[in-house]
Structure 1
Amino acid sequence: MSELWSYGPESRSTAGASLIGFKVEAADGHIGTVDEHTQDVGSAYIVVDTGPWIFGKEVLLPAGTVGRVDMEERTVHVSRTKDQIKNAPEYDREKHRGDPGYRGRVGDYYGRDGS
């Protein structure tokens, strides 16, 4: 499941670029903007600020859910639907950093749910 935490071939060309502030589009519409992202090999992800869509909630998406990044349009396209993202395990900055099981739960959810 480590490929779930790595950017795919169509999004690897962004290496070294900041995605913060980019729009994020799910398979069925806009979900927010990138608030944070990493490019760590085997553990990369983006954090999306969903704004009013999910009452200001932030969601963590493994890098493997990123289908492509349009640098010109400043848009990240992810391969999950709005409902899949909305129903994902709740993101909590402290839990993500301090709970080793959290990443596993997120990986299990996205690994079985569409990949």
Structure 2
Amino acid sequence: MLLSMKDLKGYTIGATDGDIGEVTDFYFDDDAWVIRYFIVDTGSWLSQRKVLISPIAIRQLDGDARRLSVALTREQVKNSPDIDTDKPVSRQHEIQYFGYYGYPYYWGRSGMWNAGIYSGGFGLPGGESGQIQARAESERAERVIHEDDDLHLRSCEAIIGYHVKATDGGVGHVDSLLINEKTWAIQYLVINTSNWWLGHKVLIAPEWIDGVHWHDKTVAVDLDSESIKTSPTYESSQVLNREREESLYSHYGRSGYWVTETVIIDVER
């Protein structure tokens, strides 16, 4: 199921022994286009401190209750590394964070979240098995730590409102993000075209993006304005099923991500 970033904001994060706080934003990897951390405001419990929660810890999502249950205790979160969420998260911060919880590192790998560490919760992080696995990977991770010192972690909230530029001009602005609850991948950007054509909202997949230019707040896409203008309309009230996704990809003459996933699975077998 795909979830709107706007809807996910405000979800309660529940530990095994009580609530932690509410989701206020997310850090996403603008290279892999996947959520790496939830930014959670702990409220009065920890004096408004904001903490990072990795998708690795998530055990269950309850849409009706607007709640995410995680395999963490409140004490673990309370004693977790204090990372300033108003500043860029460095790789050293991530090493400290992953080491504390006993998570294996995700960097230095291909893909989004490798199957060995996700999904569905890593068990109670910080346990012996998790720490052993993390230590076993430590040497490998240290070798690749400086291969990409230009971190790709960005705020989801920050990209909202960015202007979208087609190959032949502006077409709209980023209105929201649609997130896959199983992989926490950003499956689509919701683009509002009304400022250009008194138009509608359309979807753009990350693989059609040429680049995000943070200095001038623009997103460049490998599509022309006419194809975007005539793209199938996105209605948030309608379920985005596979039939609608196939129609979208067919409109742009692209192969669906589900086709690629099938090929990868077949090769691995």
State the TM bucket, normalised to the shorter chain: 0.7 to 0.9
CA apart distance, 1:38: 4.4
C-alpha separation in 2, matches of 1:43 and 1:104? 17
Given the alignment, which residue of 14, 17, 41 partners 1:49?
Answer: 41
CA apart distance, 1:39: 5.6
Q: Is the 8 A contact 2:51 2:85 kept in 1?
A: no
Q: Is the 8 A contact 2:38 2:54 kept in 1?
A: yes
Cα deviation, 1:31-51, whole Å, max 9, x if unaligned, reads 110111246457611111000
The secondary structure found in structure 1 opposite 2:83 is coil
C-alpha separation in 1, matches of 2:27 and 2:81? 19
Aligned residues: 101
Instruction: Tell me, yes or no, if structure 1 residue 92 matches structure 2 residue 79.
Output: no
The secondary structure found in structure 1 opposite 2:39 is strand
Percent of pairs identical after alignment?
31
C-alpha separation in 2, matches of 1:81 and 1:28? 6
C-alpha separation in 1, matches of 2:98 and 2:126? 10
C-alpha separation in 1, matches of 2:3 and 2:28? 8
Cα deviation, 1:61-96, whole Å, max 9, x if unaligned, reads 11101111111110011110000000000020245x
Structure 1 segments of 4+ aligned residues over 4 angstroms from their partners? 38-43
Give the 3 Å change call, closer, same or farther, for CA 70–98 of structure 1 in structure 2.
Answer: closer
Q: Is the 8 A contact 1:62 1:107 kept in 2?
A: no
- RMSD over aligned CA atoms reads 2.1
Cα deviation, 1:1-40, whole Å, max 9, x if unaligned, reads xxxxxxxxxxxx4x44321101111010011101112464
Moved more, 16-25 or 59-68: 16-25
Higher relative contact order (CA 8 A, sep 6+): 1
The TM-score normalised by the length of structure 2 is 0.35
Gaps of 5+ in 2: 103-124, 131-269
Gaps of 5+ in 1: 1-12
Given the alignment, which residue of 91, 99, 109 partners 1:108?
Answer: 99
Q: Is the 8 A contact 2:16 2:73 kept in 1?
A: yes
The secondary structure found in structure 2 opposite 1:21 is coil
